[in-house]
Amino acid sequence: MTRSRTLRRLVTAVSLLPLLAACGTDAGPDSRSADGKKTTAGSSGQLDIPADSNADLKKQYLMENAIAACMTKQGFTYTPVAPEDPADSWATDGADYALTKKYRQKYGFGIYAGIVYPDDAGTSRGTAARRDPDKTPNSTYVNTLTAEQKTAYNKALGSPPDPKVGVKDWTGCTGEADKKVYGSTSAEERSTTSENQNRTNAQALNGDPKLVALAQSYASCLKNEGIPVTTTQPTGIGEMVKLQALGSAPAGAGAIAVEADGTTQKSLSKEEALPLLTKDIELATRDLECGKKFRAAYFPKFLKAPTNTSGGGAG
C-alpha cells in the first residue's frame, strides 16, 4: 500500500468516523445513541430512536431500521447500526474545551491510543478506531455465507448512486429505505444540495472577520511552538495539526489498513506505540491551548451551520 493511500485511510478514520453509519461498518448490536446511552437492536431487529434526536439523526435511525426490515423480507439478516451524532464527537474534538483537554491528555489525537489502550472504549471517540472489519456483526454474518449467497446479499443490500451511468439513487434495500425515509428526491440531488450548502457555510465561516483574526492568532501561537502552519482558514486550521500528525505517522498506526487482497497491515506493537503516544499527547495539548480562543468562537457558529468540505471543522 502506498503512503498516500495509507494516509487517506487514516484521515478518513480519524476525521470522518463520527459521520459514518455505513451499511457494512457498524458498532455492533450494542451501540450508543447521541446522548451516550446504549441503543440496542431488540428482538424486533429495530433500533429505538432517542427522543432528543434531531431531524437528520432521526432519519438515519429510520433508514437503518428500514434496511433491516427489507433485508429480513429478502431472507437475510441485517443488524441495524445506531448512527452517531457528529456533535457528540465534536464535544471531545474541540467544541468543549474541558472535555477535549481531558481526552487529549490521555489519547492525544488518537493516532496511537488504540494500540496502547486496546480495550479502552474512549479510543474510538474522535479517533482512528481500531475496528477489525471482519469482526462487525454484519460482516461476521456475511462471512458465514457461501460465495453465491454473499453475491445475493450484496445485491439485496444495494449499491450507491453512480452518476457516471445515470444512476441517481441507491439500489436494493438501501434504495427502498432511502425513498421511504427521504421521499422522491434522489440521493444524488440531496448530495448536490448538501455539497452546495457545505460550500456556502464554509464561505461564511472563512469570511467571518472575528474568526479570521482569531485564526491568525492561533497560527502565530503554533509557529511560536515550532509547529508548522499550512493554512490559516478558519475551516482548516483546527484540524491542521492533527492531519500533519497523521501524515507523519509510521505505517501500522491508527486504523487497521486492509490491502486490496484482503490482508491486513501489521500494526505497531504497544511498546513501539507508547513513546509515539507520549509525543502525540504533547502535540495535541499544545495545539489545543493555542486554539482555545479560536475554538470558543468557532464552534458555536460551526454547529449552527456545519460544513464537511475539505478542512472539516476545528477539531
For the segment 7-25, what is each residue's pLDDT rounded down to a tens digit? 333 333 333 323 223 333 3
| Alpha-helical regions (H) of 119-255 | 137-142, 147-157, 172-182, 187-206, 209-224, 234-247
Helix axes 187-206, 292-304, angle to 10 degrees: 140
- Report the predicted TM-score, pTM, of the whole model to 2 decimal places: 0.71
- Low-confidence stretches of the chain (pLDDT < 70) are 1-44, 121-136, 254-265, 309-315
Up-side HSE of residue 166: CA atoms within 13 Å toward CB?
A: 0
Paired sense of beta strands 30-32 and 38-40, if any: antiparallel
| Number of residues in the chain | 315
Sign of CA dihedral 234, 254, 273, 85: positive
Q: Alpha-carbon distance 50 to 68, whole Å?
A: 18
In three-state secondary structure terms, 40 is strand
Which pLDDT belongs to residue 262? 55
Cα–Cα distances (Å) from 81 to 32, 129, 138, in that order, read: 10, 16, 9
pLDDT digits (tens, 9 = 90+) for 118-177: 887 666 654 444 344 455 678 889 999 999 999 999 999 999 988 888 889 999 999 999
In this prediction, residue 68 carries a pLDDT of 95
